[in-house]
Amino acid sequence: MSCCGDKKDFTAGSSSFDHCLCDVVRAIKDIQDAGADECMGCNSCFTTPLGGLVNPTTTPIDTRVIVLYSKDGCPFSLSAYPCNPTGPKSCFFRIEEIVGKCCVTLRLLTKDGDGFEATSRCITVDIRCFCAIECVADAFLDICM
């Protein structure tokens, strides 16, 4: 069962394994990995090249900042400090790695004035547990790839 309440069999090889967020995070990761590409003209998570969400861009871009939403419409957020649940939280993430079909390693980002800053906190999630994704911005975080 999907975390969004859809009663499908999500086992590997199943014809019902499709989940749109799996496809979206793969597309975002491909765009991040490819860097520059041709513009499609539509401002969405599928906008290419990386940097297409920034208009105009004069700096290099290496990250598409995302927010994931649960089935109740709340953004998924984490504390930058795992043992301090009352500390400041953030709902901004960078896709670091796709593991298997729908597991994704995310890096927590914090908002820093007008931009974003990478933290060292990474978490691996089953992307099928979320119901929506929002691409917030393209940013340069100077992350080694």
pTM above 0.85? Answer: no
Give pLDDT tens digits for 55-83: 666 678 899 999 999 999 999 999 988 88
Whether 6 is covered by a domain: the verdict is no
Domain that holds residue 94: 20-139
C-alpha 117/C-alpha 88 separation (Å) is: 14
Whether 8 is covered by a domain: the verdict is no
- pLDDT for position 51: 82
Whether 5 is covered by a domain: the verdict is no
Cβ atoms of residues 106 and 90 within 8 Å: no
**Is the pLDDT at 7 greater than 60, yes or no?**
no
- Structural domain total, the chain: 1
Whether 90 is covered by a domain: the verdict is yes
Whether 7 is covered by a domain: the verdict is no
C-alpha 64/C-alpha 26 separation (Å) is: 12
Whether 125 is covered by a domain: the verdict is yes
Whether 54 is covered by a domain: the verdict is yes
- pLDDT for position 49: 80
Whether 2 is covered by a domain: the verdict is no
- pLDDT for position 13: 46
